Amino acid sequence: MNNQDLAASVNSRRTFAIISHPDAGKTTITEQLLLFGGVLRKAGTVKAKKSGSFAKSDWMEIEKKRGISVTSSVMQFDYADKRINILDTPGHEDFSEDTYRTLMAVDSAVMVIDSAKGIEPQTKKLFQVCKMRGIPIFTFINKLDRDGKDPLELIAELEDVLGIGAFPMNWPIGMGKGLKGLYDIFNQRIELYRKEDQGESYLELDDNGELREDNPLKEESIYQQVLEEVELLKDAGNQMNEEKIAAGKLTPVFFGSALTNFGVKTFLDAYLKFAPAPAAHRDEAGEKISPVSNDFSGFVFKIQANMNPNHRDRIAFVRICAGEFERGMDVTLARDSKKIRLSNSTQFMADSRETLETAVAGDIIGLYDTGNFQIGDTIFAGKHKIQYEKLPQFTPEIFVRVTAKNVMKQKSFHKGIAQLVQEGAVQLYQSYSTNDYILGAVGQLQFEVFQFRMLNEYHSEVVMTPMGRKIARWIDPEQLDEKMSSSRNILVKDRQGLPLFLFENEFSERWFADKYPNVKLSAKL
- 3-class DSSP state for residue 130? helix
Contact 123, 94 (CB under 8 A): no
Report the run of H or E that residue 81 belongs to, with start and end: none
According to the annotation, is 266 in a ligand binding site? no
According to the annotation, is 332 in a ligand binding site? no
Q: Does the footprint of ligand GDP cover residue 25 (CB under 6 A)?
A: yes
Least Å from the CB of residue 25 to ligand GDP: 3
Of 94, 98, 145, 351, the one binding ligand GDP (CB under 6 A) is: 145
Stretch near ligand GDP under the rule CB under 6 A, chosen from 18-26, 278-286, 351-359, 458-466:
18-26
Least Å from the CB of residue 92 to ligand GDP: 8
CB-based contacts of 507, cutoff 8 Å, min separation 6 = none
Q: Give the closest residue to 363 by CA, choosing from 302, 423, 291.
A: 291
According to the annotation, is 55 in a ligand binding site? no
Report the run of H or E that residue 480 belongs to, with start and end: none
Separation between Cα atoms, residue 393 and residue 425, nearest integer Å: 11
Least Å from the CB of residue 253 to ligand GDP: 16
Contact 473, 503 (CB under 8 A): yes
Instruction: Specify burial of residue 435 (Cβ count, 10 A radius: 0-12, 13-18, 19+).
Output: exposed
Least Å from the CB of residue 142 to ligand GDP: 5
Buried/exposed 33-51: b ≥16 CB within 10 Å, e otherwise:
bbbbbebbeeeebbeebee
Of 146, 414, 488, 493, the one binding ligand GDP (CB under 6 A) is: 146
Identify which of residues 69 and 306 has a Cβ nearer to ligand GDP in the complex. 69
Of 28, 32, 293, 372, the one binding ligand GDP (CB under 6 A) is: 28
Stretch near ligand GDP under the rule CB under 6 A, chosen from 128-136, 139-147, 404-412, 433-441:
139-147
Least Å from the CB of residue 47 to ligand GDP: 7
Q: Does the footprint of ligand GDP cover residue 26 (CB under 6 A)?
A: yes
Of 12, 23, 54, 419, the one binding ligand GDP (CB under 6 A) is: 23
According to the annotation, is 88 in a ligand binding site? yes
Identify which of residues 263 and 298 has a Cβ nearer to ligand GDP in the complex. 263
The one-letter amino acid code at 211 reads L
- 3-class DSSP state for residue 303? strand
Least Å from the CB of residue 166 to ligand GDP: 20
Identify which of residues 71 and 345 has a Cβ nearer to ligand GDP in the complex. 71
According to the annotation, is 459 in a ligand binding site? no
Interaction residues for ligand GDP, span 219-278 (CB under 6 A): 257-259
Distances (CA, A) of 385 to 88, 295, 381, 388: 31, 10, 8, 10
Identify which of residues 44 and 328 has a Cβ nearer to ligand GDP in the complex. 44
Identify which of residues 35 and 475 has a Cβ nearer to ligand GDP in the complex. 35
Q: Does the footprint of ligand GDP cover residue 170 (CB under 6 A)?
A: no
Identify which of residues 28 and 266 has a Cβ nearer to ligand GDP in the complex. 28
Of 27, 76, 297, 304, the one binding ligand GDP (CB under 6 A) is: 27
According to the annotation, is 143 in a ligand binding site? yes
Identify which of residues 260 and 508 has a Cβ nearer to ligand GDP in the complex. 260
Number of helical H runs and strand E runs in the chain:
13, 30
Distances (CA, A) of 375 to 323, 346, 355, 365: 21, 17, 23, 14
Distances (CA, A) of 74 to 17, 261, 302, 362, 365: 9, 22, 12, 12, 9
Helices (H), 142-220: 151-157
According to the annotation, is 20 in a ligand binding site? yes
Identify which of residues 148 and 248 has a Cβ nearer to ligand GDP in the complex. 148
List of residues contacting ligand GDP (CB under 6 A): 20, 22-28, 142-143, 145-146, 257-259
